[in-house]
Amino acid sequence: MAKNSLTHLLRVFRNIRVAPFGELRFLQCEILHQQNLAYPCDKNLSQHPCCSLWRVAIFTIIHVIRVCRAVLERCEICKPLLLCYTLCMEIRDPQFDGGRPFDFGKTSADYAKFRDIYPDEFYKKLTGLNLGTENQTVLDLGTGTGVLPRNMYRYGAKWTGADISQNQIEYAKKLSVEKGMNIRYVCSSAEDLDFPPETFDVVTACQCFGYFDKKKVLPKIHELLKTGGHFAVLFMAWLPKEDKIAAKTEELVLKYNPHWTGANMTRYPVNEPDWAKGYFTLSHAEAFDIPVTFTRETWHGRIRSCRGIGASSLTPQEISLWEKEHLEYLKTVPQQFKILHYATILDLKKA
């Protein structure tokens, strides 16, 4: 048992990147399960003679913090450790929310319960394009709690889901096991995945592609796809300018988190993107309106799990104030309602 645990620790290390704006960007530090792939190591770091020892020390500390967090939170001396742990879990990107940190792993419980909202029409469009169908091997990037693999499992593909958040992955595994689904999950950033070349027939990125470093992830996806394979970029968002409930909700989110950049979504054309050149050619592009049904509870949970609230850097007190005001507003709307969304499918074929 001790030997296996040590093996797990040795296969894990800290992935440190320098963000475009010159600030060190600390990505997740995770204790990976034996069946999962470890993050690939930075060459300079891996050549250091003390590398493995540092990995063991760092990840042992992080694992202890994760397990004992409730106790540590009551200890003043331990607060610096908790701060370091929080920094390791967060993502910072100047393109989003003014560079303020966010971490969807903080909201995994809500994410698992309230983000499974795509109507069947959405999945049928994908299978109509022969994406995620029988006998295909499919990799879902930024899988979160496994929404896409779990909902498309019935169509017969062999799915693998990857996410940078270990907490998201744990919920994805739990939800899949409960439904008797044989889906493999790995904890890794999209840029750092380590599979053999030409492993997958299809790679999907649903609601997450904007978070990736295109210079790194595009050659990675191209390498992982089989000859003739497809890369599908999927997106769906509500339209606040056409829905009063969505508009009022955004107003309240921005009241407490004015730096949130996820507001004011509008329709946009879906064409072959410039970034695809050299890697992919356009196979299919489609945009369509799709109403999504919510109750007061599920809409509140959907928003609470978003980057503007639960995954944000807001304090628990700020989130509590937002919740109170949003729930008061929701008392003025019907118990069940539909929110108009705009969905896009960009299907690219490996060049």
Specify the pLDDT at position 92: 79
Per residue of the chain (351 residues), give pLDDT as tens.
444 443 343 343 333 332 332 222 333 333 333 333 333 333 333 344 444 555 455 555 655 655 565 565 567 666 555 555 554 556 778 899 999 999 999 999 999 999 999 999 999 999 999 999 999 999 999 999 999 999 999 999 999 999 999 899 999 999 999 999 999 999 999 999 999 999 999 999 999 999 999 999 999 999 999 999 999 999 999 999 999 999 999 999 999 999 999 999 999 999 999 999 999 999 999 999 999 999 999 999 999 999 999 999 999 999 999 999 999 999 999 999 999 999 999 999 999
Q: Is residue 255 domain-resident?
A: yes
Residue 253 has a pLDDT of 98
The pair of three-digit structure tokens given for residue 64, joined into one six-digit string:
């202890």
Query: Are 164 and 299 members of one domain?
Result: yes
Beta-bridge partners for 161: 140, 185
**Closest alpha carbon to 287 in 264, 270, 266, 265:** 270
CA 131 from centre of chain: 20
State the residue range of the domain holding 63. 2-89
Domain assignment present for 65: yes
Residues 81 and 132 in one domain: no
**Are residues 178 and 318 both part of a single domain?**
yes
Are 285 and 160 part of one and the same domain?
A: yes
CA angle 39, 40, 46 (to 5 degrees): 115
Residue whose structure tokens are 């995620």 = 132
Last residue of a domain, one of 89, 120, 139: 89
Nearest to 11 by CA among 59, 67, 66: 59
Q: What angle do CA 209, 214, 216 make, to 5 degrees?
A: 120
Rounded-to-integer distance, Cα 319 and Cα 315, Å = 6
User: Can you give the pLDDT at residue 347?
Assistant: 98
Same-domain pairing of 24 and 142: no
100 falls within a domain: no
Q: Round to whole Å and give the CA distance between 143 and 173.
A: 11
Q: How many domains does the chain have?
A: 2
Q: Is 290 exposed, middle or buried (CB count within 10 Å of its CB: 0-12, 13-18, 19+)?
A: middle
Instruction: Tell me, rounded to whole angstroms, the distance of Cα 125 from its chain centroid.
Output: 22
Residue 79 lies in a domain: yes
**pTM of the entire structure?**
0.78
What are the residues whose beta carbons fall under 8 Å from the beta carbon of 158, sequence distance 6 or more?
135, 136, 137, 138
CA–CA separation, 192 and 202 (whole Å): 18
pLDDT confidence of residue 91: 72
Is residue 209 domain-shared with residue 122, that is, in the same domain? yes
The pLDDT value given to residue 11: 40
Report the candidate in 204, 169, 214, 175 with the shortest Cα–Cα distance to residue 36.
Answer: 169
Long-range CB pairs of 330-336, under 8 A, 24+ apart, other chains included: 330/296, 330/299, 330/300, 331/296, 333/245, 333/296, 335/295, 335/296, 336/293, 336/294, 336/295
Structural domain ending residue among the three candidates 26, 56, 89: 89
Name the helix (H) or strand (E) containing 222: helix 214-224
Cα–Cα dist 72/63, whole Å: 13
Question: 293 and 176, same structural domain?
Answer: yes
Same domain, 82 and 136: no
| Residue 146, domain CATH | 3.40.50.150
Let me know if residue 98 belongs to a domain.
no
CB 173 within 8 A of CB 162: no
Residue 130 and residue 82 share a domain: no
Residue 293 lies in a domain: yes
* Cα(293)–Cα(94) distance, integer angstroms: 33
Of 40, 56, 89, which residue sits at a domain end?
89
Instruction: Tell me if 227 is assigned to some domain.
Output: yes
Q: Are residues 85 and 113 in the same domain?
A: no
Residues 75 and 207 in one domain: no
DSSP 163-216: ES-HHHHHHHHHHHHHTT---EEEE--GGG----TT-EEEEEEES-GGGS-HHH
State whether 217 and 296 are in the same domain: yes
The partner residues of 231 in beta bridges, in order of sequence, read: 203, 348
Count CA atoms within 13 Å of residue 85 on its CB side: 21
Q: Is residue 251 part of a domain?
A: yes
